[in-house]
Structure 1
Amino acid sequence: MTASVDAKVLPPFNGPIEIGLRALTLLSEAFPSAYSLQRMVVSDYLLVHSDDLPDGPPGLHPKTPHRGGELLVRRAVLEQGLMLYQSRGLLERHYTETGLMFAATERTAAFLDALSSDYAAQLRERAAWLVSLFGEMSDSELLKIANSQVGEWGAEFSMESVLKVEDAEWQ
């Protein structure tokens, strides 16, 4: 007899559960501040690729070629993750003059305290670092930094592959 498998399987990596958890961690660290979706897209990238910033801690995820493109595909999955954790009472939405904002709830920190993996601990460290670095910065200032750096994030792999091809041709 085989076990029944749910027809809708969520991806284990960079799916709504993981990206939502990263957003939850960031918002918990920023509590009681609320963040826009756009700010969280950029922040999520910086949480996992913290070593893309000067003097940033080691990244949680490996440096992959063209990783700056990740910023373009995170938004929809992040929204799904936020709705998932909101449905569990761990996040709340606030409608403000500047748009839709998300914030942690009183229950968020206790939920995160129950997580004991190394990844969760490192994620909390990166979130504290990120909030201390950019917490007082406006969304537009943070977006300027991201826009100025996005071409650089992951670009070192492009030059490296060009150099390897040229080296191979000389042999």
Structure 2
Amino acid sequence: MMNEAAEFSQYNGPLEVGLRALAVLTEDYPSAYSLQRLVILDYLIVHSDDLNFGPVGLHPQTPHRSGELLVRRAALEKGLLLYQSKGLIERKFMENGVLYSATEKSGSFMDVLNAGYSLKLRDRAGWLVDRFKEQSDQALSELVRKEAGDWGAEFEMAPALKKGLEL
């Protein structure tokens, strides 16, 4: 019998989180995103139904799910490095910080993933890019600060986010 922590890591380990970031980056190729933006978009790709206007989420709405924002960054960094090592993500050092983008190989890689979850993932990634492409990282962070307390109403760390805890 699998415990809850093992089940959580199964979907939020570096391989899976990196794949979700790759899906977003591939949808908006050749655009490059900051780590902060990818953390927020990873949460929203999984829990798109936390937004009033979002499609059904890829994962169920569980209590305390907004806390995922606080622990997602480390797994995402590892996932980005993993996919970078395979030539599917490029890390760019820019004046405004480190940004990540898909590569020319990314689309072909994503095209071979045809399982139901992968197809839903690509659909949500397209929706996210269409919906939030024009919003700045700051605007996305503000959305999280305003809404995080409502996502999984039991979220006890909302005051920390609202006081400006960096994601």
Say whether the fold is shared (TM-score over 0.5): yes
What residue in structure 1 maps to residue 83 of structure 2? Answer: 85
What residue in structure 2 maps to residue 123 of structure 1? Answer: 121
Task: Classify the secondary structure of the residue corresponding to 2:107.
Answer: helix
Tell me the TM-score normalized by structure 1.
0.84
What residue in structure 2 maps to residue 7 of structure 1? Answer: none
User: For the aligned residues, what is the CA RMSD?
Assistant: 1.3
Rg bigger for which structure? 1
CA distance in 1: counterparts of 2:103 and 2:39, whole angstroms:
20
Q: State the 1:55 CA deviation.
A: 1.8
State, as a whole percentage, how many aligned pairs show the same letter: 58
Gaps of 5+ in 1: 1-10, 159-171
CA distance in 2: counterparts of 1:13 and 1:140, whole angstroms:
27
Gaps of 5+ in 2: 1-8, 157-167
Task: Classify the secondary structure of the residue corresponding to 1:75.
Answer: helix
Amino acid at match of 1:63: Q
The answer to whether the 8 A contact 2:18-2:78 is kept is yes
What residue in structure 2 maps to residue 139 of structure 1? Answer: 137
Aligned match of 1:50 in 45, 48, 51? 48
* Runs of 4+ more than 4 Å apart: none
Q: State the 1:102 CA deviation.
A: 0.1
Tell me the TM-score normalized by structure 2.
0.86
CA distance in 2: counterparts of 1:143 and 1:25, whole angstroms:
21
CA distance in 1: counterparts of 2:63 and 2:120, whole angstroms:
23
